[in-house]
Amino acid sequence: MNTHDRAAVVAVLGPTNTGKTHLAIERMCAHSSGMIGFPLRLLAREVYDRVVKLKGEGQVALITGEEKILPKDARWFLCTAESMPMDRDFAFVALDEAQLGADPERGHVFTDRLLHARGREETMILGSETLRPMIRALVPDAEIVTRPRFSTLSFAGACKLSRLPPRSAIVAFSGEQVYAVAEMLRRMRGGAAVVMGALSPRTRNAQVAMYQAGEVDYLVATDAIGMGLNMDVAHVAFAGLSKFDGRRRRRLAVGEMAQIAGRAGRHQRDGTFGTLTFEGEASPEFTPEEIAAIEDHRFPDLDTLFWREGDPDTRSIGALIRDLERRPSETVLRPAPEAVDLAVLRRLAEDAEVRARADTPERVRRLWAACGLPDFRKTGAEHHARLVARLYLHLTEGNGRIPQPWYAAQIAQLDNVQGDIDTLADRIAGVRTWAYIAHRADWLLHPEEMAARARDVEERLSDALHERLTQRFVDRRTAVLMRDLGAKGVGEFPVTIDAEGEVSVGSHPIGRMQGFAFEVDPAARAGDRKMLLATAERRLGGEYEKRATALVADTDPHFALRTDAGASVALLWRGHEVARLAPGKNLLSPNILLDRRLERVSQKGREAVVERLKAWIAAGVERHLGHLRRAGMAGRDGAASPALRAVLAMLVDKGGVIARDAVAGPLARLTKEERRAIGALRIRIGSLDLFIPDMLRPEAKRWRTALRAAAEGTAMPLLPPEAAAVLPAPKEPERTRIARLGFRALGPQMVRVDMVERLAAHAHEARAGKQADVVNDALATSLGLQPQTVAKLMRDIGFRPAASAVGWIWRGRMREKEFEKTLDSASPFAALANLRRG
């Protein structure tokens, strides 16, 4: 295209958010055909999608280095500046962000398009106000239109990450810094979307869609965000104010700062910008002059643009290099620094085989086209030149095409969705290389098929990269809960509790309800636990009341007494601890201490729970200890004799088992009727002990032990094994504790009192002539009793060994009336027995 045969050029200049790009799109669509060149393929793709909605897929083309959508009847083209088809005729042509002509790396491309890209009916150059002098010098006939910013942009100062307002974009200047900031935002605010120039359009769009939909409130991006990517950003925070530009690390120019800060506030909504401070690090600071310039949109004018011959001489490699090194004739233009393509060309010019093959203008043009392959993987000119050399050799032998099996093998090597973020990003960069090659129609025999294959691999890798980015930098649950905690009233996210007790806010699990205990999701990070507990505290009040009501209405089988050794005796409801037993008015009526987790239940609800648990305890006492309870009631009967009341009181106090010697006095004064009354209470008066046989059953022993531990305020002891004899006999105080459960100490062993009574009864029957042997050897053997145990038992019941050392002779036991004299006169039970004497 030549500059002299086109309509007048309009330069639309102004800061960000002036609607320049929107105007260009409207003007293009008003023409019969048109083309716009953009600085980023992501921006080209974004605008392509917008125009497709207006004109239809068959009418719109997208051309970037790695992506080409070119319908046969396409009339409107959206391209990157490098990919603009300069040999086609369009009614309208526009160049976006034309001030990039001052960029050392790509400036010569934008300068060339500014000079030569023209529409036959209308040409539009979009850019910063700083471009005005260059337009005046290079396109003197251009009409310059200045557009004001739609909204106000103001400085908000420095801000900590923890206080960053929602809908903020944080701009970092390295991949490592992007990752670090995104990681911190995940921990503190639920996460962030990530946008970098290295992302494929598919990954970038998925990340931006997540931000735009409000799934996350923060966006972390490189400075690529400054190039016209339109998002709903209220505040831009700079994580730094310097960048590495490929040659050195330097402070951003104020125009670059403004380009990035200008992403804040869209259309009529005002925006703010500032810096981000990190703990223990010096905060980047804008100077007062920079702040004033950004707020007022006043920047130093550009005084030069970079230039390189856009249509170089290709008669030979030497002529090509000389033309590319030629200095511009215009004083406002200066030679572009050596770009990657020229650096690669210089290296290949030293290769004898390459020089030999570049022997015609057509082959030189093909060499220069191969050198234009972008170094997507950023491997450097030396390494990249080796790949270009191999491609060129393929392009200059045989049929002049890259072998399809070799090309397909390169794509196949990259078709692997495993790996971390950096690995996937590198593979995508690799696929971009082969996608670029596939869009050179003269380089492959079946370019459409290979382009489709490259596109499929890139899409799979892009989806995997989006997933990895989301997994690493987004905690959707935390993001939801941060908004939920900030909401008033019930909030917008429903709380659900499934049949297994899993608690979810929205679709995100936060923990599990176990009875009245909320347990934070074990997979939650330590820093999130406090927030999850706060959410549960705020949202589960109704659930606690509902569970309290369910407990009160539940049936007895769903309650249990927990008697784990070493722990307090607890009450369980459906397997979950709800209360503990504490000392009460007597052994069989303990107090109920509700678990502290029931504090979330209302006072009325807690009282109902206590009454229900008391009722269950009473039912359990009746079921397992009913005879003991009735003995206690009989002992409190005022009509009973003092002796009877003393026996019953002492028996109940010992849990239903007491040595006969301990009640010998009052027992001796019982009448036959009172003894029958004792028998009616299911109390057995044995040779050595008084006991209630039902109290020797396993559950009765467990309940008796639990209630005694509660009455004494101690932990539950270890229950003895379910055997009739304990060997060896433990030492005190364990010996006393086991005795309370119905065992009698007999030398080296402790034997259950009902078994003791059976052995004693057999001995007395033998003495009366009803049994042949005094000792029931069969029973003693089955119980595993040792000879010393049997000997101690025989002596205790009144026998002594015969003189011949074979057999036993009755010697009699102390009479109960004689034993009465041995009672401690200070004993309350002795006093009770003495009442009868008075």
The answer on pLDDT for 825 being more than 90 is: no
- Gyration radius (Cα) of the chain, Å: 47
Helix (H/G/I), strand (E/B), else coil: 224:
helix
Same domain, yes or no, for 468 and 499? no
Asked whether 396 and 366 are in contact (CB, 8 A), the reply is: yes
Across the range 501-512, mean pLDDT stands at 72
Planar angle of CA 480, 486, 487, nearest 5 degrees:
90
pLDDT of 763 higher than 80 = yes
pLDDT (tens digit, 9 = 90+) per residue, 355-400? 999 999 999 999 999 999 999 888 889 999 999 999 999 999 999 9
Q: Give 284-299 pLDDT, tens digit per residue.
A: 899 999 999 999 888 8
- What is the pLDDT at residue 524? 66
Please state, in angstroms and rounded to a whole number, the distance separating the CA atoms of residues 214 and 567: 49
pLDDT score at 824? 45
Show which of 241, 265, 296 is a domain's final residue: 296
Which tens digit of pLDDT belongs to each residue from 304-325? 999 999 999 999 999 999 999 9
CA nearest 241: which of 192, 291, 193?
291
- Does the pLDDT of residue 197 top 60, yes or no? yes
CA distance 157 to 353: 60
Lowest-pLDDT range, 403-407, 554-558, 808-812?
A: 808-812
Q: Do 691 and 623 share a structural domain?
A: yes
Q: In the predicted model, is pLDDT for residue 828 greater than 80?
A: no
Cis upstream peptide for 288 (omega within 30°): no
pLDDT at 723: 79
Task: Using the predicted structure, report yes or no on whether residue 789 has a pLDDT greater than 50.
Answer: yes
pLDDT of residue 817: 45
Distance CA 91, CA 97 (A): 20
Q: How many domains is the chain built from?
A: 5
33-85 residue pLDDT tens: 999 999 988 889 889 999 999 999 999 999 998 888 999 999 999 999 999 99
DSSP reduced 3-state for 648: helix
- Are residues 710 and 566 part of one domain? yes
Of 732 and 656, more confident? 656
Q: How far is Cα 259 from Cα 114, in angstroms, rounded to an integer? A: 20
Quick check: 571 and 592 in contact, CB under 8 A? yes
- Do both 158 and 259 map to the same domain? yes
Weakest-pLDDT range from 228-232, 323-327, 639-643, 687-691: 228-232
More confident residue, 57 or 727: 57
Does the pLDDT value for residue 728 go beyond 50?
yes
Q: Residues 17, 80: one domain? A: yes
Q: How do beta strands 495-497 and 502-505 pair?
A: antiparallel
Predicted confidence at residue 2, as pLDDT, reads: 43
- pLDDT mean over 434-461: 91
Give domain status of residue 510, yes or no: yes
295 φ, ψ to 5°?
-65, -35
What single DSSP character describes residue 566? Answer: T
pLDDT on residue 97: 93
Looking at the structure, tell me whether residues 119 and 217 fall in a common domain: no
Average pLDDT over residues 402-416: 94
Give which of 227, 182, 232, 184 is closest to 209, Cα–Cα. 232
Please give the C-alpha separations between residue 394 and each of 66, 390, 406, in angstroms, as whole numbers: 20, 6, 10
Say if residue 551 is exposed, middle or buried (CB neighbours under 10 Å; 0-12, 13-18, 19+): buried
Distance, in Å, from the CA atom of 408 to the CA atom of 394, rounded to the nearest integer, reads: 14
Residue 5, pLDDT above cutoff 60: no
391/512 same-domain check: no
- Per-residue confidence band for 226, with pLDDT thresholds at 50, 70 and 90: low
Q: Is residue 522 located within the same domain as residue 591?
A: no
Residue 794: C-alpha distances to residues 64, 163, 445, 499 (Å): 107, 85, 111, 62
* Range of the structural domain that residue 374 is part of: 338-472
Same structural domain, 221 and 169: yes
In the numeric block, which tokens belong to residue 102? Answer: 């001052």
Predicted local confidence at residue 184, as pLDDT: 87
What DSSP letter does each residue of 558-577 carry, written as one string? GEEEE--TTS--EEEETTEE
Considering 657, 688, 718, which residue would you say is the last residue of a domain? Answer: 718
For all residues of the chain together, what is the average pLDDT? 87
Confidence of residue 439 (pLDDT cuts 50, 70, 90): confident
> Can you tell me the distance from the alpha carbon of 676 to that of 674, in angstroms, rounded to the nearest whole number?
5
Asked if the structure places residue 264 within a domain, the reply is yes
Q: Say if residues 78 and 44 touch (Cβ distance below 8 Å).
A: yes
Question: What's the whole-number mean pLDDT along residues 728-753?
Answer: 84
Task: Report which secondary-structure segment, H or E, holds 186.
Answer: helix 175-189
The Cα-based distances of 576 to 142, 533, 739 in angstroms read 82, 19, 32
757 falls within a domain: no
631's enclosing H/E stretch is: helix 603-635
Do 516 and 578 reside in the same domain of the chain?
no
Percentage of residues in the chain having pLDDT higher than 70: 90
Confidence at residue 700, expressed as pLDDT on a 0 to 100 scale: 93
Question: How many helices (H) and strands (E) in the chain?
Answer: 30, 34
- Neighbour-count burial of 21, counting CB atoms closer than 10 A to its CB (0-12 exposed, 13-18 middle, 19+ buried): buried
Note the pLDDT of residue 815.
46
The stretch 647-673 carries a mean pLDDT of: 92
Residue 72 φ then ψ, to 5°: -60, -35
Q: Name the nearest CA neighbour of 385 among 397, 373, 401.
A: 373
Residue with tokens 């380089």: 443
Where is the domain boundary, 672, 700, 718?
718
DSSP state of 7: P
Mean pLDDT value across residues 401-428:
93
In a domain, 71, yes or no: yes
The reply to whether 574 and 710 lie within a common domain is yes
- The answer to whether 832 touches 642, Cβ cutoff 8 Å, is yes
Q: What is the pLDDT of residue 826?
A: 43
What is the spatial distance between Cα 197 and Cα 204, in angstroms, rounded to a whole number?
9
pLDDT for 387 equals: 95
The CATH number of the domain holding residue 195 is: 3.40.50.300
With respect to residue 225, please indicate whether it lies within any of the assigned structural domains. yes
Q: What is the mean pLDDT of residues 749-777?
A: 89
Q: Is residue 31 part of a domain?
A: yes
* Residue 44 near residue 67 (C-beta atoms within 8 A): no
459 and 499 inside one domain? no
737 in a structural domain? no
Instruction: Quote the percentage of the chain above a pLDDT of 90.
Output: 58
Answer whether residue 422 is part of any domain.
Answer: yes
For 13, phi then psi, to 5°, come to: -120, 150
pLDDT level of residue 480 (50, 70, 90 thresholds): low
Of the candidates 265, 272, 294, 300, the residue with the CA atom closest to the CA atom of residue 19: 265
